[in-house]
Protein backbone atom coordinates (compact mmCIF):
# COMPACT_ATOMS: atom_id res chain seq x y z
CA UNK A 1 0.00 0.00 0.00
CA UNK A 2 1.30 3.44 -0.92
CA UNK A 3 1.38 5.63 2.15
CA UNK A 4 -1.04 8.55 2.00
CA UNK A 5 -1.89 11.17 4.57
CA UNK A 6 -5.42 10.15 5.52
CA UNK A 7 -7.75 12.16 7.74
CA UNK A 8 -10.99 10.52 8.84
CA UNK A 9 -13.52 9.87 11.56
CA UNK A 10 -14.34 6.15 11.57
CA UNK A 11 -17.59 5.22 13.29
CA UNK A 12 -18.17 1.51 13.88
CA UNK A 13 -21.71 0.32 14.60
CA UNK A 14 -21.49 -3.02 16.41
CA UNK A 15 -18.13 -2.14 17.91
CA UNK A 16 -18.43 -4.62 20.79
CA UNK A 17 -18.99 -7.59 18.50
CA UNK A 18 -16.63 -10.39 17.57
CA UNK A 19 -15.82 -9.00 14.10
CA UNK A 20 -14.79 -5.63 15.52
CA UNK A 21 -12.52 -7.09 18.18
CA UNK A 22 -10.93 -9.78 16.00
CA UNK A 23 -10.55 -7.87 12.73
CA UNK A 24 -11.54 -4.22 12.62
CA UNK A 25 -9.69 -2.68 15.55
CA UNK A 26 -6.45 -4.64 14.96
CA UNK A 27 -6.59 -3.61 11.28
CA UNK A 28 -7.15 0.09 12.03
CA UNK A 29 -4.43 -0.08 14.70
CA UNK A 30 -2.00 -1.50 12.11
CA UNK A 31 -2.77 1.34 9.71
CA UNK A 32 -2.26 3.84 12.52
CA UNK A 33 0.98 2.25 13.68
CA UNK A 34 2.37 2.25 10.12
CA UNK A 35 1.79 5.99 9.85
CA UNK A 36 -1.08 6.19 7.36
CA UNK A 37 -3.02 8.65 9.51
CA UNK A 38 -0.52 10.75 11.38
CA UNK A 39 -2.58 12.34 14.15
CA UNK A 40 -5.65 13.02 11.99
CA UNK A 41 -7.75 10.05 13.01
CA UNK A 42 -10.56 9.39 15.47
CA UNK A 43 -12.60 6.23 15.96
CA UNK A 44 -16.02 6.04 17.59
CA UNK A 45 -17.25 2.64 18.67
CA UNK A 46 -20.98 2.30 19.24
CA UNK A 47 -22.97 -0.50 20.81
CA UNK A 48 -25.75 -1.37 23.26
CA UNK A 49 -23.32 -2.18 26.09
CA UNK A 50 -23.05 0.30 28.95
CA UNK A 51 -19.36 1.19 28.80
CA UNK A 52 -17.25 4.22 29.50
CA UNK A 53 -14.71 5.22 26.88
CA UNK A 54 -11.93 4.07 29.20
CA UNK A 55 -13.54 0.63 29.69
CA UNK A 56 -13.98 0.32 25.94
CA UNK A 57 -10.36 1.27 25.32
CA UNK A 58 -9.20 -1.49 27.63
CA UNK A 59 -11.31 -4.06 25.78
CA UNK A 60 -9.90 -2.93 22.44
CA UNK A 61 -6.38 -2.99 23.89
CA UNK A 62 -6.87 -6.61 24.91
CA UNK A 63 -8.23 -7.51 21.46
CA UNK A 64 -5.18 -5.97 19.76
CA UNK A 65 -2.81 -7.88 22.04
CA UNK A 66 -4.68 -11.12 21.26
CA UNK A 67 -4.44 -10.62 17.49
CA UNK A 68 -1.09 -8.90 16.95
CA UNK A 69 2.30 -10.17 18.05
CA UNK A 70 4.34 -7.58 19.96
CA UNK A 71 2.15 -4.51 19.35
CA UNK A 72 3.75 -1.10 19.91
CA UNK A 73 2.37 2.22 21.13
CA UNK A 74 -1.16 0.92 21.79
CA UNK A 75 -1.93 3.70 24.26
CA UNK A 76 -1.12 6.30 21.63
CA UNK A 77 -3.69 4.65 19.36
CA UNK A 78 -6.27 4.37 22.14
CA UNK A 79 -6.10 8.13 22.67
CA UNK A 80 -7.98 8.43 19.35
CA UNK A 81 -10.66 5.90 20.37
CA UNK A 82 -14.06 6.79 21.89
CA UNK A 83 -17.25 4.98 22.84
CA UNK A 84 -20.91 5.91 22.72
CA UNK A 85 -23.79 3.72 23.77
CA UNK A 86 -26.14 3.63 20.80
CA UNK A 87 -29.63 2.33 20.16
CA UNK A 88 -29.82 2.36 16.38
CA UNK A 89 -33.61 2.73 16.50
CA UNK A 90 -33.60 5.93 18.59
CA UNK A 91 -33.19 9.22 16.78
CA UNK A 92 -31.85 11.04 19.85
CA UNK A 93 -28.82 8.75 20.01
CA UNK A 94 -27.85 9.93 16.53
CA UNK A 95 -28.08 13.54 17.71
CA UNK A 96 -25.60 12.69 20.48
CA UNK A 97 -23.40 10.92 17.93
CA UNK A 98 -23.51 14.01 15.71
CA UNK A 99 -22.32 16.24 18.55
CA UNK A 100 -19.48 13.86 19.42
CA UNK A 101 -18.50 13.60 15.76
CA UNK A 102 -18.38 17.37 15.34
CA UNK A 103 -16.28 17.75 18.48
CA UNK A 104 -13.80 15.11 17.34
CA UNK A 105 -13.64 16.53 13.82
CA UNK A 106 -12.46 19.83 15.28
CA UNK A 107 -10.15 18.32 17.90
CA UNK A 108 -8.30 16.00 15.51
CA UNK A 109 -8.53 18.10 12.33
CA UNK A 110 -10.42 15.42 10.39
CA UNK A 111 -11.44 17.69 7.47
CA UNK A 112 -15.04 16.50 7.61
CA UNK A 113 -14.21 13.00 6.32
CA UNK A 114 -16.47 10.28 7.72
CA UNK A 115 -16.48 6.52 7.31
CA UNK A 116 -19.32 4.46 8.80
CA UNK A 117 -18.75 0.72 9.26
CA UNK A 118 -21.92 -1.33 9.82
CA UNK A 119 -20.52 -4.38 11.62
CA UNK A 120 -23.97 -5.64 12.53
CA UNK A 121 -26.96 -7.57 11.23
CA UNK A 122 -28.13 -6.47 7.76
CA UNK A 123 -31.59 -6.09 9.31
CA UNK A 124 -30.40 -2.74 10.68
CA UNK A 125 -28.62 -1.41 7.58
CA UNK A 126 -31.60 0.55 6.28
CA UNK A 127 -32.47 1.93 9.73
CA UNK A 128 -28.92 3.11 10.40
CA UNK A 129 -28.30 4.67 6.99
CA UNK A 130 -31.64 6.52 7.07
CA UNK A 131 -30.88 7.92 10.52
CA UNK A 132 -27.36 8.90 9.52
CA UNK A 133 -28.77 11.06 6.75
CA UNK A 134 -31.72 12.46 8.72
CA UNK A 135 -29.51 13.44 11.65
CA UNK A 136 -27.05 15.30 9.42
CA UNK A 137 -24.14 12.93 10.09
CA UNK A 138 -23.56 12.48 6.35
CA UNK A 139 -23.76 16.22 5.62
CA UNK A 140 -20.04 16.93 5.70
CA UNK A 141 -17.38 18.96 3.91
CA UNK A 142 -15.25 15.90 3.12
CA UNK A 143 -16.23 12.37 2.08
CA UNK A 144 -19.04 10.30 3.53
CA UNK A 145 -18.72 6.53 2.96
CA UNK A 146 -20.32 3.40 4.36
CA UNK A 147 -19.04 -0.18 4.61
CA UNK A 148 -21.59 -2.98 4.84
CA UNK A 149 -20.86 -6.61 5.64
CA UNK A 150 -22.34 -9.68 4.01
CA UNK A 151 -24.83 -11.19 3.71
CA UNK A 152 -26.22 -8.51 1.43
CA UNK A 153 -29.73 -9.83 1.20
CA UNK A 154 -31.15 -13.32 1.37
CA UNK A 155 -32.13 -13.46 -2.30
CA UNK A 156 -32.41 -11.01 -5.19
CA UNK A 157 -35.66 -9.49 -3.96
CA UNK A 158 -34.36 -8.79 -0.44
CA UNK A 159 -31.01 -7.59 -1.81
CA UNK A 160 -32.81 -5.09 -4.06
CA UNK A 161 -34.87 -3.84 -1.12
CA UNK A 162 -31.73 -3.45 1.01
CA UNK A 163 -29.87 -1.69 -1.78
CA UNK A 164 -32.74 0.74 -2.30
CA UNK A 165 -32.77 1.54 1.41
CA UNK A 166 -29.06 2.33 1.51
CA UNK A 167 -29.17 4.28 -1.76
CA UNK A 168 -31.59 6.76 -0.16
CA UNK A 169 -28.69 7.95 2.00
CA UNK A 170 -25.54 7.08 0.05
CA UNK A 171 -24.59 7.16 -3.63
CA UNK A 172 -23.26 3.98 -5.28
CA UNK A 173 -19.72 5.36 -5.24
CA UNK A 174 -20.04 5.89 -1.46
CA UNK A 175 -21.15 2.31 -0.72
CA UNK A 176 -18.49 -0.34 -0.07
CA UNK A 177 -19.95 -3.87 0.10
CA UNK A 178 -17.19 -5.86 1.69
CA UNK A 179 -16.08 -9.34 0.64
CA UNK A 180 -12.98 -10.14 2.68
CA UNK A 181 -11.79 -12.68 0.08
CA UNK A 182 -11.13 -9.74 -2.26
CA UNK A 183 -8.70 -8.33 0.29
CA UNK A 184 -6.52 -11.45 0.30
CA UNK A 185 -3.09 -11.00 -1.25
CA UNK A 186 -3.24 -14.00 -3.61
CA UNK A 187 -6.78 -13.18 -4.79
CA UNK A 188 -5.51 -9.75 -5.76
CA UNK A 189 -2.58 -11.48 -7.46
CA UNK A 190 -4.90 -13.15 -10.00
CA UNK A 191 -5.06 -9.98 -12.11
CA UNK A 192 -1.29 -9.48 -11.88
CA UNK A 193 -0.55 -13.05 -12.92
CA UNK A 194 -2.90 -12.82 -15.89
CA UNK A 195 -2.31 -9.36 -17.23
CA UNK A 196 1.29 -8.87 -16.12
CA UNK A 197 2.78 -11.95 -17.80
CA UNK A 198 2.85 -12.69 -21.51
CA UNK A 199 3.25 -16.43 -20.85
CA UNK A 200 -0.29 -16.59 -19.41
CA UNK A 201 -2.66 -14.10 -21.03
CA UNK A 202 -2.30 -15.48 -24.62
CA UNK A 203 -3.20 -18.95 -23.25
CA UNK A 204 -6.08 -17.74 -21.06
CA UNK A 205 -8.93 -19.06 -23.23
CA UNK A 206 -10.78 -22.16 -24.38
CA UNK A 207 -8.13 -23.05 -26.95
CA UNK A 208 -5.60 -23.89 -24.27
CA UNK A 209 -7.44 -24.29 -20.93
CA UNK A 210 -9.27 -27.54 -20.18
CA UNK A 211 -10.98 -26.52 -16.93
CA UNK A 212 -10.62 -24.35 -13.85
CA UNK A 213 -11.20 -25.61 -10.31
CA UNK A 214 -11.84 -23.41 -7.28
CA UNK A 215 -11.86 -24.97 -3.81
CA UNK A 216 -12.54 -23.32 -0.47
CA UNK A 217 -12.54 -25.98 2.22
CA UNK A 218 -12.52 -25.81 6.00
CA UNK A 219 -11.84 -28.37 8.70
CA UNK A 220 -13.92 -26.35 11.15
CA UNK A 221 -17.64 -26.80 11.57
CA UNK A 222 -20.04 -23.95 12.18
CA UNK A 223 -18.72 -23.31 15.71
CA UNK A 224 -21.14 -20.89 17.46
CA UNK A 225 -22.83 -19.71 14.23
CA UNK A 226 -25.65 -22.25 14.21
CA UNK A 227 -28.46 -19.70 14.20
CA UNK A 228 -26.92 -17.74 11.32
CA UNK A 229 -25.94 -20.80 9.32
CA UNK A 230 -29.41 -22.32 9.53
CA UNK A 231 -30.76 -19.28 7.68
CA UNK A 232 -27.93 -19.23 5.17
CA UNK A 233 -26.13 -22.43 4.19
CA UNK A 234 -23.04 -22.81 2.04
CA UNK A 235 -24.70 -21.69 -1.22
CA UNK A 236 -25.50 -18.22 0.13
CA UNK A 237 -22.66 -17.96 2.62
CA UNK A 238 -19.86 -18.87 0.19
CA UNK A 239 -20.90 -19.35 -3.44
CA UNK A 240 -23.01 -16.22 -3.96
CA UNK A 241 -20.13 -13.96 -2.95
CA UNK A 242 -16.65 -15.42 -2.48
CA UNK A 243 -16.60 -18.13 -5.15
CA UNK A 244 -18.45 -16.20 -7.85
CA UNK A 245 -16.14 -13.25 -7.22
CA UNK A 246 -13.16 -15.52 -7.90
CA UNK A 247 -14.83 -16.82 -11.06
CA UNK A 248 -15.31 -13.26 -12.29
CA UNK A 249 -11.66 -12.35 -11.64
CA UNK A 250 -10.41 -15.45 -13.45
CA UNK A 251 -12.73 -15.07 -16.42
CA UNK A 252 -12.93 -11.33 -17.04
CA UNK A 253 -11.56 -9.63 -20.14
CA UNK A 254 -8.60 -7.26 -19.97
CA UNK A 255 -9.94 -4.01 -18.49
CA UNK A 256 -9.22 -0.80 -20.37
CA UNK A 257 -7.41 0.56 -17.30
CA UNK A 258 -6.63 -0.19 -13.66
CA UNK A 259 -9.43 2.12 -12.54
CA UNK A 260 -12.02 0.45 -10.32
CA UNK A 261 -14.93 1.21 -12.66
CA UNK A 262 -13.20 -0.47 -15.61
CA UNK A 263 -12.27 -3.57 -13.61
CA UNK A 264 -15.71 -3.92 -12.08
CA UNK A 265 -17.32 -3.44 -15.48
CA UNK A 266 -15.49 -6.53 -16.78
CA UNK A 267 -16.46 -8.57 -13.72
CA UNK A 268 -20.11 -7.66 -14.28
CA UNK A 269 -19.84 -8.85 -17.90
CA UNK A 270 -18.70 -12.27 -16.67
CA UNK A 271 -21.50 -12.64 -14.13
CA UNK A 272 -24.00 -11.51 -16.74
CA UNK A 273 -22.65 -14.24 -19.07
CA UNK A 274 -23.08 -17.14 -16.63
CA UNK A 275 -24.95 -19.85 -18.48
CA UNK A 276 -28.59 -19.90 -17.49
CA UNK A 277 -29.39 -23.42 -16.31
CA UNK A 278 -32.62 -25.32 -16.70
CA UNK A 279 -34.07 -27.33 -13.84
CA UNK A 280 -32.55 -30.64 -14.93
CA UNK A 281 -29.16 -29.00 -15.58
CA UNK A 282 -29.13 -27.63 -12.03
CA UNK A 283 -29.86 -31.09 -10.64
CA UNK A 284 -27.05 -32.53 -12.73
CA UNK A 285 -24.46 -29.77 -12.30
CA UNK A 286 -24.83 -28.80 -8.64
CA UNK A 287 -24.26 -30.99 -5.59
CA UNK A 288 -25.11 -30.17 -1.98
CA UNK A 289 -24.07 -31.93 1.18
CA UNK A 290 -24.20 -31.85 4.95
CA UNK A 291 -21.48 -33.23 7.21
CA UNK A 292 -21.95 -36.22 9.45
CA UNK A 293 -19.81 -36.99 12.47
CA UNK A 294 -16.27 -38.07 11.71
CA UNK A 295 -12.64 -37.75 12.70
CA UNK A 296 -10.48 -34.65 12.13
CA UNK A 297 -6.97 -34.35 13.56
CA UNK A 298 -7.56 -37.58 15.52
CA UNK A 299 -10.62 -36.13 17.24
CA UNK A 300 -14.22 -37.21 16.79
CA UNK A 301 -16.43 -34.28 15.78
CA UNK A 302 -20.20 -33.80 15.79
CA UNK A 303 -22.55 -34.08 12.86
CA UNK A 304 -24.02 -30.77 11.72
CA UNK A 305 -27.45 -31.71 13.08
CA UNK A 306 -25.94 -32.18 16.54
CA UNK A 307 -24.30 -28.74 16.62
CA UNK A 308 -25.69 -26.05 18.98
CA UNK A 309 -28.65 -24.01 17.66
CA UNK A 310 -29.17 -26.36 14.70
CA UNK A 311 -32.46 -28.08 13.94
CA UNK A 312 -32.12 -31.85 14.46
CA UNK A 313 -33.96 -32.31 11.14
CA UNK A 314 -32.05 -29.59 9.32
CA UNK A 315 -31.70 -29.71 5.53
CA UNK A 316 -29.22 -26.81 5.44
CA UNK A 317 -26.25 -27.56 3.20
CA UNK A 318 -22.69 -27.26 4.55
CA UNK A 319 -21.14 -28.27 1.21
CA UNK A 320 -21.68 -27.18 -2.38
CA UNK A 321 -19.96 -28.27 -5.58
CA UNK A 322 -20.96 -27.09 -9.00
CA UNK A 323 -20.11 -26.84 -12.65
CA UNK A 324 -20.38 -23.30 -14.02
CA UNK A 325 -20.19 -22.39 -17.69
CA UNK A 326 -19.73 -18.98 -19.25
CA UNK A 327 -21.46 -18.11 -22.51
CA UNK A 328 -18.88 -16.07 -24.38
CA UNK A 329 -16.26 -16.66 -27.06
CA UNK A 330 -13.32 -16.84 -24.64
CA UNK A 331 -14.74 -19.47 -22.32
CA UNK A 332 -17.26 -21.50 -24.31
CA UNK A 333 -16.70 -25.17 -23.51
CA UNK A 334 -14.48 -24.57 -20.44
CA UNK A 335 -16.10 -25.71 -17.19
CA UNK A 336 -15.43 -23.79 -13.97
CA UNK A 337 -15.79 -26.24 -11.08
CA UNK A 338 -16.41 -24.75 -7.66
CA UNK A 339 -16.34 -26.53 -4.33
CA UNK A 340 -16.77 -25.32 -0.76
CA UNK A 341 -17.49 -27.15 2.46
CA UNK A 342 -17.08 -27.36 6.19
CA UNK A 343 -15.54 -30.23 8.15
CA UNK A 344 -13.52 -31.30 5.13
CA UNK A 345 -10.15 -33.03 4.72
CA UNK A 346 -8.07 -29.85 5.02
CA UNK A 347 -8.27 -26.08 5.27
CA UNK A 348 -7.45 -24.56 1.90
CA UNK A 349 -8.40 -21.93 -0.64
CA UNK A 350 -6.93 -23.07 -3.94
CA UNK A 351 -7.40 -22.34 -7.63
CA UNK A 352 -6.19 -24.84 -10.24
CA UNK A 353 -6.03 -23.87 -13.91
CA UNK A 354 -5.63 -27.09 -15.91
CA UNK A 355 -4.30 -26.62 -19.43
CA UNK A 356 -5.15 -28.98 -22.26
CA UNK A 357 -2.77 -31.85 -22.87
CA UNK A 358 -0.34 -31.70 -25.75
CA UNK A 359 -1.88 -34.09 -28.33
CA UNK A 360 1.52 -34.68 -29.98
CA UNK A 361 3.66 -35.30 -26.90
CA UNK A 362 6.20 -37.81 -28.27
CA UNK A 363 7.77 -38.42 -24.87
CA UNK A 364 4.84 -40.41 -23.52
CA UNK A 365 4.08 -43.91 -24.72
CA UNK A 366 0.34 -43.75 -23.98
CA UNK A 367 -2.21 -40.90 -23.77
CA UNK A 368 -2.86 -41.83 -20.14
CA UNK A 369 0.72 -40.96 -19.18
CA UNK A 370 0.51 -37.52 -20.76
CA UNK A 371 0.12 -35.10 -17.86
CA UNK A 372 -1.60 -31.72 -18.00
CA UNK A 373 0.23 -28.51 -17.23
CA UNK A 374 -1.23 -26.80 -14.18
CA UNK A 375 -1.12 -23.30 -12.74
CA UNK A 376 -1.94 -23.58 -9.05
CA UNK A 377 -2.76 -20.49 -6.99
CA UNK A 378 -2.72 -21.13 -3.25
CA UNK A 379 -4.63 -18.42 -1.42
CA UNK A 380 -4.21 -20.10 1.96
CA UNK A 381 -2.66 -21.52 4.03
CA UNK A 382 0.57 -21.66 1.97
CA UNK A 383 0.24 -18.43 -0.02
CA UNK A 384 1.92 -18.61 -3.39
CA UNK A 385 1.58 -20.21 -6.79
CA UNK A 386 3.22 -22.97 -8.78
CA UNK A 387 3.47 -24.10 -12.38
CA UNK A 388 3.44 -27.85 -13.00
CA UNK A 389 5.24 -28.85 -16.22
CA UNK A 390 6.57 -32.07 -17.76
CA UNK A 391 10.29 -32.76 -17.68
CA UNK A 392 12.83 -35.57 -17.94
CA UNK A 393 13.73 -37.71 -14.96
CA UNK A 394 17.36 -37.65 -13.87
CA UNK A 395 18.30 -41.08 -15.23
CA UNK A 396 19.57 -42.74 -18.39
CA UNK A 397 16.08 -43.47 -19.69
CA UNK A 398 13.61 -41.22 -21.46
CA UNK A 399 11.15 -41.32 -18.55
CA UNK A 400 9.18 -38.17 -17.86
CA UNK A 401 7.99 -36.66 -14.62
CA UNK A 402 5.92 -33.70 -13.46
CA UNK A 403 8.13 -30.88 -12.24
CA UNK A 404 6.66 -28.23 -9.95
CA UNK A 405 8.03 -24.71 -10.25
CA UNK A 406 6.81 -23.18 -7.01
CA UNK A 407 6.72 -19.74 -5.48
CA UNK A 408 5.82 -19.83 -1.80
CA UNK A 409 5.63 -16.52 0.01
CA UNK A 410 8.71 -16.31 2.24
CA UNK A 411 8.16 -16.50 5.98
CA UNK A 412 9.38 -12.94 6.52
CA UNK A 413 6.87 -11.68 3.93
CA UNK A 414 4.05 -13.66 5.52
CA UNK A 415 4.81 -12.02 8.86
CA UNK A 416 4.43 -8.62 7.20
CA UNK A 417 1.37 -9.53 5.13
CA UNK A 418 -1.58 -7.34 6.02
CA UNK A 419 -4.89 -8.86 6.96
CA UNK A 420 -7.57 -8.69 4.27
CA UNK A 421 -9.57 -6.24 6.40
CA UNK A 422 -6.58 -3.94 6.74
CA UNK A 423 -6.25 -3.87 2.95
CA UNK A 424 -9.95 -3.20 2.46
CA UNK A 425 -10.36 -0.52 5.14
CA UNK A 426 -7.42 1.33 3.60
CA UNK A 427 -9.02 1.07 0.15
CA UNK A 428 -12.24 2.63 1.49
CA UNK A 429 -10.35 5.49 3.09
CA UNK A 430 -8.70 6.39 -0.22
CA UNK A 431 -11.93 5.81 -2.16
CA UNK A 432 -10.79 2.79 -4.21
CA UNK A 433 -13.76 0.50 -4.96
CA UNK A 434 -11.82 -2.07 -7.02
CA UNK A 435 -12.00 -4.82 -4.42
CA UNK A 436 -15.63 -4.28 -3.44
CA UNK A 437 -18.83 -5.58 -4.99
CA UNK A 438 -20.78 -3.26 -7.26
CA UNK A 439 -24.55 -3.56 -7.06
CA UNK A 440 -24.69 -5.07 -10.57
CA UNK A 441 -22.29 -7.83 -9.50
CA UNK A 442 -24.59 -8.68 -6.62
CA UNK A 443 -27.67 -8.52 -8.81
CA UNK A 444 -26.40 -11.03 -11.38
CA UNK A 445 -24.89 -13.35 -8.77
CA UNK A 446 -28.20 -13.44 -6.87
CA UNK A 447 -30.10 -14.19 -10.10
CA UNK A 448 -27.81 -17.19 -10.63
CA UNK A 449 -28.05 -18.41 -7.03
CA UNK A 450 -31.83 -17.96 -6.76
CA UNK A 451 -32.42 -20.42 -9.62
CA UNK A 452 -30.36 -23.09 -7.89
CA UNK A 453 -32.04 -22.51 -4.55
CA UNK A 454 -35.54 -22.66 -6.05
CA UNK A 455 -34.80 -26.10 -7.56
CA UNK A 456 -33.29 -27.37 -4.31
CA UNK A 457 -36.33 -26.19 -2.34
CA UNK A 458 -38.56 -28.50 -4.39
CA UNK A 459 -36.89 -31.69 -3.23
CA UNK A 460 -35.64 -32.32 0.36
CA UNK A 461 -32.14 -33.84 0.41
CA UNK A 462 -31.07 -37.00 2.23
CA UNK A 463 -28.69 -35.50 4.79
CA UNK A 464 -26.09 -36.09 6.15
CA UNK A 465 -24.24 -37.41 3.10
CA UNK A 466 -20.52 -36.97 3.82
CA UNK A 467 -18.26 -37.81 6.72
CA UNK A 468 -16.38 -35.06 8.51
CA UNK A 469 -12.76 -35.19 7.41
CA UNK A 470 -13.61 -36.38 3.89
CA UNK A 471 -13.57 -34.76 0.44
CA UNK A 472 -17.34 -34.23 0.54
CA UNK A 473 -20.21 -36.24 -0.98
CA UNK A 474 -19.45 -38.89 -3.61
CA UNK A 475 -21.64 -36.96 -6.05
CA UNK A 476 -19.00 -34.23 -6.06
CA UNK A 477 -16.46 -36.66 -7.52
CA UNK A 478 -18.99 -37.88 -10.10
CA UNK A 479 -19.56 -34.27 -11.18
CA UNK A 480 -16.09 -34.22 -12.74
CA UNK A 481 -15.89 -37.90 -13.55
CA UNK A 482 -18.71 -37.46 -16.09
CA UNK A 483 -16.43 -35.06 -17.96
CA UNK A 484 -13.43 -37.38 -17.75
CA UNK A 485 -11.79 -35.22 -15.07
CA UNK A 486 -11.04 -35.30 -11.35
CA UNK A 487 -10.57 -32.87 -8.50
CA UNK A 488 -6.95 -31.93 -7.83
CA UNK A 489 -6.88 -32.67 -4.09
CA UNK A 490 -3.23 -33.03 -3.16
CA UNK A 491 -1.24 -30.33 -4.93
Contacts by 206-210, CB closer than 8 A, 24 or more apart: 206/330, 206/331, 206/332, 206/333, 206/334, 207/356, 208/355, 208/356, 209/334, 209/353, 209/354, 209/355, 209/356, 210/334, 210/354, 210/355, 210/356, 210/357, 210/372, 210/485
Q: Please pick, among 80, 180, 242, 438, the residue that the annotation labels catalytic.
A: 242
Active site annotation includes 242: yes
Exposure of 321 in the CB half-sphere (CA atoms within 13 A): 24
- Is residue 16 within 8 A of residue 51, CB to CB? The reply is yes
- Is residue 348 within 8 A of residue 383, CB to CB? The reply is no
| Residues labelled catalytic | 242
Amino acid sequence: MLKQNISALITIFGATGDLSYRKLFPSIYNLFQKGYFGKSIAIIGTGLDELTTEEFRQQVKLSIKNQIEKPRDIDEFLYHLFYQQQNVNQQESYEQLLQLSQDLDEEFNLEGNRLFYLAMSPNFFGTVTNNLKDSGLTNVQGFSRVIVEKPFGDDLKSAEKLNNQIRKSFKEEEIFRIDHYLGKEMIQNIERLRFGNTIFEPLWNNKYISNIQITSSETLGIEDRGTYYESSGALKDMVQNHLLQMVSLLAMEVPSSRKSNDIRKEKVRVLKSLKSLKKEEIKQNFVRGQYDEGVINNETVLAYKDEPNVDSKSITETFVAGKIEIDNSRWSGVPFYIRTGKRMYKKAIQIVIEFKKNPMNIYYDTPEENESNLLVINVQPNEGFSLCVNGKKSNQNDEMQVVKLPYIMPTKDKMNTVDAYENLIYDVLIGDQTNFSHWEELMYSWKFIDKIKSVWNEEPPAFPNYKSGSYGPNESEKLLDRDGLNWWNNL
